[in-house]
Chains A and B, each alone.
Chain A
């Protein structure tokens, strides 16, 4: 439960680190928000903030450019990127309860059941994505100023574009549910599209609905570029109304070359303790240029000399997917979590007016969003600690997960798909799970484009990386669409016998 005393604290008294603080409810008084650059900055923090000189309060009519020079900066230590620099107004966004909640959402769900080091959170990843996107943005402007100006990306709009990019990449994951992607199986269906909502929809809705106080109403933005939460949400959604320049920069938030995957490969590798996800991010960053897509549109591309760095990025993705993300044991824990979540949501939302009581509330109202924010890893683990979650709760507590009984080849043929479904039917009442979501994702997306001309004066023609790199071309075809069948560990023996009998006639026939 929310501590009512917290809400009555003044901004000066309120503890700086809000990691235990549950998001407020509509009925509760809104806690005053910290506006860091009006106060003395903290001189210590649990996440490694360096201390520094206190800034003098700034008059709201000062230009933002001047503020950037004169006010206190913050730096957060990051295991991947070193120190991540923050502007004071970004500090306020980070301190917002919606962002602080990411401390309670693990990046890789229950992957620690397989790789014990996988305990990192969306909080540090989000900071890393903002930092990486910012570095990439600066690198493109540094090397391609003339090309960008030729496209009417003026220096005047550069700081504003960068500000929107930094905010959007910082906040891109605030809509994650408990245990990140692992828990997305219980998202409600959007009646307009007939598809389940994704965390991106929640991120955009949360930014619009609950973060206007630290964006629209922030004195920095009011006095300066007047960036709005709506614009940040539109940028993340790819709303056509954001216009050409921001649509171009959006590639740093969502594309094969985006800062998201650039960060998570390195971060996940680091925490898990594997080397697979490593590649040369610095080389990749300085290799980014503006190329020409075959449609004639400007597109983020890799300079001719840097294509090996892009090749290494794809190899890293391939390795991380095959060795970590699609690992059979990691995948089955996603299933157990979703079963637990269905039960917990149904129980906890029994009295609510929701269409799907065993799914998260849809991101269609402030009330729903507040209820959604209440779901974090901590809350689920607390309920599990109390013995809740049914049979699958026991499985998570005891790490007694379902075991793999049978899997098709990496790419299941239609016959194999039919066969494994029949094997499932022949198991009768033995509880089992058929996982048909083991699909290749390492080169899922637009092709990385490489410039064909080393000259940097003009916007250059491009060709796909897979046309340049034999390795990437081979990996493109090394796809996966596997189907796996799991059974309870207790039923493994009888299930193996049924499987043997099921496959036997075909083996004899083949002989």
Chain B
């Protein structure tokens, strides 16, 4: 799949804002947009041309941040600061960038992926999204570096980065991501000791 032109990327931002408006009690925020787009590109394979780097607050693409500002300026979306929640909210705007022929066709081809990401993660708050995106980033980064990580090792790396998350919580999120196919295949499948241990812990309460 070729990389989406910049107008098409704005269309994806607008599409996510619309999905939140129509189907969720939450409003799309800047951090959530970063994480959902990360899943869309890095896990679902919709090539948007963003490059993600890992920061202390999770995977982040500066190009996506710039695209959001541009989309706001073009009224593709309306980005408003809400002091009560101390954050930005992204609403659909008046300009429809998907009205062009090529943009419409392209958006149609990726709509299923956008909806799948929304269905999977649209109900999570910022912290939970952030945790899941970090797990997925660490897993994919390991594959790119040719490293084999057991789930236990993966969870420990994430916990080292984010000590405010309990190990069990990381493990549960990891297990869910793996079950839903949001983590890359492991190069070398290790015995399922981690899952077994996790289940034991859950059973013990």
A461 to B83, CA, bound (A): 13
Number of A-B residue pairs with CB-CB distance less than 8 Å in the complex they form:
112
What's the nearest-Cβ distance from chain A to residue B4, in Å?
A: 13
A195 to B161, CA, bound (A): 27
What's the nearest-Cβ distance from chain B to residue A184, in Å?
A: 14
A481 beta carbon closer than 8 Å to chain B: yes
* Partner pick for B164 among A247, A296, A444, A479, CB 8 A cutoff: A296
What's the nearest-Cβ distance from chain A to residue B71, in Å?
A: 9
B185 beta carbon closer than 8 Å to chain A: no
A38 to B205, CA, bound (A): 61
Q: What is the number of residues of chain A that contact chain B, defined by CB distance less than 8 Å?
A: 46
A414 to B6, CA, bound (A): 10
Query: Main secondary structure on chain B at its contact with chain A?
Result: helix
| CB <8 Å contact, B88 and A247 | no
Give the nearest-CB partner of A436 in chain B: B6
- B31, B57, B81: residue with the most chain A Cβ atoms closer than 10 Å: B57
B127 beta carbon closer than 8 Å to chain A: yes
* Partner pick for A293 among B6, B56, B160, CB 8 A cutoff: B56
- Give residues 407-421 of A contacting B (CB, 8 Å): 411, 414, 417
| CB <8 Å contact, B69 and A446 | no
What's the nearest-Cβ distance from chain B to residue A228, in Å?
A: 16
| CB <8 Å contact, B62 and A411 | no
Give the nearest-CB partner of B139 in chain A: A240
B116 beta carbon closer than 8 Å to chain A: no
When distances are taken between beta carbons in the complex, the residues of chain A under 8 Å from B31 are 294-295
| CB <8 Å contact, B70 and A238 | no
| CB <8 Å contact, B56 and A411 | no
Q: What is the number of residues of chain B that contact chain A, defined by CB distance less than 8 Å?
A: 47
What's the nearest-Cβ distance from chain A to residue B76, in Å?
A: 11
A80 to B93, CA, bound (A): 45
A241 to B134, CA, bound (A): 12
When distances are taken between beta carbons in the complex, the residues of chain A under 8 Å from B161 are 240, 243-244, 247
B151 beta carbon closer than 8 Å to chain A: no
| CB <8 Å contact, A238 and B87 | no
B63 beta carbon closer than 8 Å to chain A: yes
* Partner pick for A439 among B66, B145, B158, CB 8 A cutoff: B66
A251 beta carbon closer than 8 Å to chain B: yes
A152 beta carbon closer than 8 Å to chain B: yes
Which stretch of B19-27, B47-55, B168-176, B191-199 is in the interface? Answer: B47-55
- B51, B58, B86: residue with the most chain A Cβ atoms closer than 10 Å: B86
| CB <8 Å contact, B51 and A294 | no
| CB <8 Å contact, B74 and A411 | yes
A254 beta carbon closer than 8 Å to chain B: yes
B157 beta carbon closer than 8 Å to chain A: yes
- Give residues 293-307 of A contacting B (CB, 8 Å): 293-299
What's the nearest-Cβ distance from chain B to residue A150, in Å?
A: 11
Give the nearest-CB partner of A194 in chain B: B47
B60 beta carbon closer than 8 Å to chain A: yes
- Give residues 1-45 of B contacting A (CB, 8 Å): 6-7, 29-31
What's the nearest-Cβ distance from chain B to residue A369, in Å?
A: 18
| CB <8 Å contact, B66 and A247 | no
| CB <8 Å contact, B57 and A295 | yes
| CB <8 Å contact, B63 and A240 | no
**Known A-B contacts A240-B161, A244-B160, A244-B161; A444 and B74 likewise in contact (beta carbons under 8 Å):** no
| CB <8 Å contact, B62 and A446 | yes
Residues of A whose CB lies within 8 Å of any CB of B are 152, 192-195, 238-241, 243-244, 247-248, 250-251, 254-255, 293-299, 411, 414, 417, 439-441, 443-447, 452, 461, 463-464, 466-467, 476-479, 481
